[in-house]
Amino acid sequence: MNNPTHHASAYRAFTVTGRQQFTLVERERHEPAPGQVRIRVEACGICHTDALAVEGLRPDPSAPVVPGHEIIGVIEAVGAGVDPTWRPGDRVGVGFLGGQDNTCESCRRGDFVNCSDQPQTGTAVDGGYAEVTYARATGLVRIPPGLDPLAGAPLLCAGLTMYNALISASARPGALVAVQGLGGLGHLGIQYARALGHRVVAIARGTAKATLAAELGAHHYVDSTQTDPGAALRRLGGAAVVIATAASGASMSPLVQGLGPRGQLVVVGAAPDPIQVATSDLIFGEHVVRGSLTGTAIENEDNLRFALGLGIRSRNEVFPLSEAPKAYERMINGDARFRIVLDPTK
């Protein structure tokens, strides 16, 4: 920066207020609070969930917040009471779930994802559209050696979302697994499903994405504009799992009819409209429709090791931090191919 008042303890961050009101601010580093660490951000992915902050979908949109929750960086300082296994110099990640409190009822039952006092990174607390961020130590994810921050950042949310949705569904290897949508989530989901040994069906709109789906590892492609996707899945024998990533409840509704016995429709794409399901489509075949919310920090470590070991790669466009508003706009308009990552060193 060419600011004469800029000095080593200062850092740049983008805050947002109202609806898409981005402001580039300069802040002073401070000591992390008890239980927290300070992180020098090396990369931050832009995720569709950033819309909660940027589009003013928070309880108080007038309070500035730094968006971003696909963060990889290096610990700079450690607050009081943090487990000594976390040290300055460690490369860590922070996802959407910013660390459980370990005291609420959900935590006492071991259900850390549903902790009632867990900050949502980049929505309820400041996130990663910045050179520096702060995070609860319970939310930290160890980054495996060999994972490049700019390449790997989207795996912390988009990757974990697909990994956990598949793992928690417990489909046996070789089972028919469908991924609906071929965007930022779906292009990863196909790779994860293939790496887990499933017979993979990609469901998307139009014929143009068929080649990409095959490239990513799909065995079958269904063009939902030409074919009813539920009927197509039934013809293939019925899906053990369908992961629905599209931001459209109406597009998810027909998928239930494509499930095999005890099959699950796992919803990970947040949509403004509801899913409609006939009761008989649930009862006969004992089908399940459920949601899946990213995962815990330790599950994220499993996810990163799995992705790195099996060659699962997010296809990213990299923007300098200074162009965060433009990068966000590209993502929200659906123009990204397929994820966008901010580089705070630029």
Domains belonging to the chain, first-starting first, are: 10-155+295-343 (3.90.180.10), 159-291 (3.40.50.720)
Residue 2 is predicted with a pLDDT of: 41
Q: Exposure string (b/e) for 71-100, b if CB count within 10 Å is 16 or more? A: bbbbbebbbeebeeeeeeebbbbbbbbbbb
**Whether the Cβ atoms of residue 256 and residue 265 lie closer than 8 Å to each other:** yes
Q: How far is CA 66 from CA 123, 132, 204, in A?
A: 8, 11, 33
Determine the Cα angle at 94 with ends 154 and 328, to 5°: 45
Residues 152 and 169: their CA atoms lie apart, in Å, by: 24
**Whether the Cβ atoms of residue 100 and residue 6 lie closer than 8 Å to each other:** no
Type of residue numbered 25: V
| Closest C-alpha to 345, from 40, 25, 22 | 40
Per-residue pLDDT of the chain (346 residues; tens, 9 = 90+): 444 445 689 999 999 999 999 999 999 999 999 999 999 999 999 999 999 999 999 999 999 999 999 999 999 999 999 999 999 999 999 999 999 999 999 999 999 999 999 999 999 999 999 999 999 999 999 999 999 999 999 999 999 999 999 999 989 999 999 999 999 999 999 999 999 999 999 999 999 999 999 999 999 999 999 999 999 999 999 999 999 999 999 999 999 999 999 999 999 999 999 999 999 999 999 999 999 999 999 999 999 999 999 999 999 999 999 999 999 999 999 999 999 999 999 9
Residue 121 is predicted with a pLDDT of: 98
Residue 156 phi, psi (nearest 5): -70, -20
Residue 7 is predicted with a pLDDT of: 64
**Whether the Cβ atoms of residue 246 and residue 269 lie closer than 8 Å to each other:** yes
Kindly write down the DSSP assignment for every residue of 157-222, as one continuous string: THHHHHHHHHHHHTPPTT-EEEEE--STTHHHHHHHHHHTT-EEEEEESSSTTHHHHHHHT-SEEE
**Whether the Cβ atoms of residue 175 and residue 200 lie closer than 8 Å to each other:** no
Residue 111 is predicted with a pLDDT of: 98
Q: For residue 338, is the peptide bond before it cis, meaning its omega torsion is within 30 degrees of 0? A: yes
Identify any residues that bridge with 133 across adjacent strands, giving them in sequence order.
39
Residue 1 is predicted with a pLDDT of: 41
